[in-house]
Amino acid sequence: MKKRFATKRSFLLCSLLVMALMLGACSTGNGTNAAPEASAGTNGASSAAKTKISYWTIDRHDMDYMQEQVDKYNATNTDNIEVEMKVMADNYNQAVEVAFASNQAPDIFRSGDFQTYVNKGYFAPLDTLLSKEFLAKFDGLLVEDVYTKDGHVYTLPNTGQFWRLLYNVDLLEKAGYMEPPKTLDEMVEIAKKVTEQGKAEGIYGFASNFKNGSGFTRPAFASGSLSSETSHEGFNYQTGEFDFGMYRDIAEALHQMKTDGSMIPGAESLDIDPLRAQFAQGKIAMYVNHSSEPAVYTSQFPTDINWASTLVPTKDGQINGVTWVNAGGYIGINAQSDKQAAAVKFLEYLYNTELRTEYQEKGLGLSVLPYVNEAAGKPELKGIEGFLPTKYDGIYPATPISVTETKLEGKKASDVFIEYILTSNQDLEAAIKDLNTRYNKALAAARTEGLTNIQANPSFSAKSLQGSLGQ
């Protein structure tokens, strides 16, 4: 078995290597060693050689727009730079690793696995390449282990996923509610009333895609972090330990809706697209998801229902933290490239106000950058207004949950909470206590092995993140 596994692994590595080499061969000027080409001037003489740089991205949804911007840059920049963009959406992190191993890495590229890219020396420190004036645009946003590490900036924020409660306005009004819920108890109450009125027609008050862990984490990350001044992803920044008690309230609310019969039948095997299809047909009153949904209901599941979105409810309606915004790094510069100066020019172009505001106004993504949100008009996409940044959205520092779960014995937190939500005989307090014990044991092991250097920060306050992205 070991021999067969090793053979498969070798085959995969070889395949990825061939892929990277083929990409390099097909690309003019791709990689750090490509020689500049001379271009013919209008009088037949050779003009100054162009500096050709390669740019890799994982984003498909905006590739037509971004190709237009790259073409525009190539045609108008006065630095004689030519950029070639490649969309590398499949096996991106592996492709980047192989490209670096084979000296075929792009000069500037989309951020992926931040820790790996920094630890392996793929990213150049941007604070040594960019001016202080340019970096000042990102003041207050460059959190540790997401954009920075050990005092250096390696990638920058751009757009983010903003989490909201989506709701069918007409279904709520029919049940007697003119406004969406602000507390979890109100959400449970509304779900029950809507179900009582609409069950005969296949209408239910709430849904979540419990086929996988995101069925819990989608509402939990939003409500739990909005409620807590100290914690995110079950990790208490102030103590440096895991405490999944932050999810007690949202877990109880979801469990109550399941017990009341307000949850759409089959939720335990429901995936996100079938859920969306039911919402688009007016069969679901409420669910939680992020700012990709307006595009979904414009193209993938076009709908005429009257829907809107709002902040996810908290236990008592109080907001002590911020809703987690999923906003990883955008792009970085190859630490091994000999064309870093040209890459810097292109990076600065990608962050110019005109490009970034137009990007948002076209509905391609919501910016986390204050200078963009101040300049941008209302996006064209129907339904996007409810997802625009508020003072209660923020970017949290990294937590050690990913590396902790590599050392975890037993079930993950999301699976434990889903079991509680969908069944009637679970002891929630015992489950939380067990999770805390197992996760903190795994965290200690991860720290011993040097897998994370995230420690307690007694002065952390999620309330201080309020207002960092919007008002």
User: Are residues 115 and 215 located together in one domain of the fold?
Assistant: no
Please, which pLDDT band fits residue 2 given cuts at 50, 70 and 90? very low
pLDDT at 14: 45
User: Are residues 354 and 293 located together in one domain of the fold?
Assistant: no
Q: What are phi and psi of 87, to 5 degrees?
A: -95, 115
Structural domain total, the chain: 2
- Per the structure block, which two tokens stand in for 464? 């201080």
Reported as a single tens digit per residue, the pLDDT across 443-457 is: 999 999 999 989 999
Look-up of token digits 């809703």:
323
Distance CA(439)–CA(401), nearest Å, equals 8
CATH number for the domain that contains residue 72: 3.40.190.10
Give the range among 19-33, 278-292, 353-367 with minimum mean pLDDT: 19-33
User: Are residues 321 and 232 located together in one domain of the fold?
Assistant: yes
Reported as a single tens digit per residue, the pLDDT across 257-302 is: 999 999 999 999 999 999 999 999 999 999 999 999 999 999 899 9
The mean pLDDT of 353-360, rounded to a whole number, is: 96
pLDDT at 471: 78
User: Are residues 288 and 242 located together in one domain of the fold?
Assistant: yes
User: Are residues 110 and 56 located together in one domain of the fold?
Assistant: yes
pLDDT at 426: 84
Please, which pLDDT band fits residue 17 given cuts at 50, 70 and 90? very low
Q: Report whether pLDDT(46) > 50.
A: no
Can you give the residue range of the structural domain that contains 236? 164-325+398-465
Surface-to-core class of residue 137, CB atoms within 10 Å of its CB (0-12 exposed, 13-18 middle, 19+ buried)? middle
Asked, for residue 387, whether it belongs to a domain, the answer is: no
Please, which pLDDT band fits residue 331 given cuts at 50, 70 and 90? very high
User: Are residues 54 and 141 located together in one domain of the fold?
Assistant: yes
Q: Which of 300, 137, 288, 152 is nearest to 225 (CA)?
A: 288
Asked, for residue 388, whether it belongs to a domain, the answer is: no
User: Are residues 283 and 351 located together in one domain of the fold?
Assistant: no
User: Are residues 192 and 177 located together in one domain of the fold?
Assistant: yes
| pTM attached to this predicted model | 0.84
User: Are residues 54 and 201 located together in one domain of the fold?
Assistant: no
- Per the structure block, which two tokens stand in for 466? 């309020």
